[in-house]
Chain A
């Protein structure tokens, strides 16, 4: 009985043609007759064939690697163009010119072609992020400085910048004379607006956005008289705030020369205002140009008075010297469109406060005294009742 290994010896001899005539004929006959043996032989040839092919592939791979390495080592295109063969057929090929680029460039190109999609995505994300941040910051800032809508500018004045310049100047001047013994730096207010007397008992009115976020308030009159004040009540919606002077030494404003109108003023009425957009009091004049404010807000008038930052809280008076509004803001993209809160809202506010047990009684001025005076006379009387409101944060 032959083992499988014996058969293999036989098969190998047969496939190498080493078998003698009779043995060979015998095996061929058996292969034809015996399917099991034939299968065994087929397996044998397949396996040895695979083994040999496997070995060959290994060799070819080695060879190709060698060729590749040699090609890289040669690295010179002209060497490739003329491989001399002694074969009958001459191999004269017109060779593609090698891409002659340096190593670094090669590497850069590889990197780029491999990662350009990623790089592109990253770059666009970065750009988007930058612009989103910038836009967001801008929106945040505008929403902070302008409590109202975009395009609407409130008119409180940022004093700090001006004051800071002044302080620097003083400091420089001081250093010229006596070094480092300058006067203690004055506390500088951050914002300023205008306010005016509401009652003779020491209540004042200004715009809410002037005192927004205030730590302390200082009221300064034309005669440089200063009082401390505190907010008593504020109406954010109509941009109104009522302040009260807290100083002990303060007694009374005296009789107020203007009355507060509780009704509505008419379109086209000549109006004027008095405020502190700068250190000195400034007069402004115009007409009542609309009975609604920014974007149709009926709590406001639109007036054609040129107003500037610092005018917020200025009184708006008609020709007879009746108070008809409180200046609040202006529209940025429109020519001289200023807005003022209607005085009827102020009256309503005072009434509702009076109902809620005030600390000190209110006596709203009923009758004006300015009715038939000329404008300069009116202003002379008025200016004692208009104040700078300085805000410290």
Chain B
């Protein structure tokens, strides 16, 4: 696990500490981060003909991108967290607006949030979009999988239940039976997943 390159010149010590806290899985740090930058993004979206709900969606999406980058340690931040989040949310909202509107979109930017270009947000977003696509395919594949399999896999991988719990829940005679069933389900899921995932154009 390579630690993300943090150019400390543009990063305040607070940002540093916050990132460290989030990486270590501190729930309150995430909440703190969330509350800290919410006014900025909500103001931005409201100013650019969005609603409160739009702002929430965009902001959560943006924080998600940031959070996932922090968690797997691939975040390369060359600016403040604030600027990064602003750049990500701005890009996300711009995308939504252009897909909604028939006319060209011009955003009103808050000057104070400074150079939001070249923050690396663009590349991160592209990666996140790829990831999104993968997740969509996965959820479709799960939906197509059919009932006992779907619940079994979701229980194991998504809800982090132990094999013993699942054995009891689904009424298998022992854990090995459940495991075998799980592997069979995985094989089917694999076929569905890769069939959908590979055939879609990049």
Contact = CB atoms under 8 A, between A and B. Distances in A.
Contacts of A117: 49
Contacts of A284: none
A87 interface: yes
Contact of B64 (A6, A43, A57, A91): A57
Q: Which of B28, B35, B47 has the most CB of A within 10 A?
A: B35
Given A53-B135, A110-B51, A71 B35 contact: yes
Interface stretch (B1-9, B88-96, B179-187): B179-187
Interface in A102-141: 106, 109-110, 113-114, 116-117
Q: Which of B13, B21, B183, B190 has the largest count of A CB atoms less than 10 A from its CB?
A: B183
A250 to B, nearest CB: 78
A64 B36 contact: no
Nearest to B13: A89
Interface residues of A, number: 47
B21 A71 contact: no
A98 B39 contact: yes
A60 B179 CA distance: 27
Interface in A280-335: none
A63 B67 CA distance: 12
A91 B31 contact: no
A145 interface: no
Contacts of B21: 85, 87, 89, 91
Contacts of A99: 39, 43
A44 B154 CA distance: 16
A61 B158 contact: no
Contacts of A95: 36
Contact of A71 (B29, B38, B183, B193): B38
A90 interface: yes
A234 B51 CA distance: 71
Contacts of A61: 60, 64
A43 B192 CA distance: 12
Interface string A39-66: 0000110011011111101101101110
Interface string A64-88: 1101101100000000100101010
A8 interface: yes
B199 to A, nearest CB: 15
Residue from A6, A8, A12, A106 whose CB has the most chain B CB atoms within 10 Å = A8
A89 B20 contact: yes
A114 B29 contact: no
A176 interface: no
A95 to B, nearest CB: 6
Interface in B46-76: 46-52, 56, 60, 63-64, 67-68
Contact of A68 (B34, B50, B183, B189): B34
A114 B50 contact: yes
B32 interface: yes
A96 interface: yes
A360 interface: no
The CB with the most chain A CB atoms within 10 A, among B46, B56, B157, is that of B157
Contacts of B48: 113
A58 B39 contact: no
Contacts of B194: 43, 47
Nearest to A12: B183
A38 to B, nearest CB: 15
Contact of B158 (A54, A64, A90, A113): A54
Given A47-B193, A55-B160, A80-B36, 6 more contacts: A5-B184, A44-B186, A50-B135, A52-B157, A64-B60, A93-B32
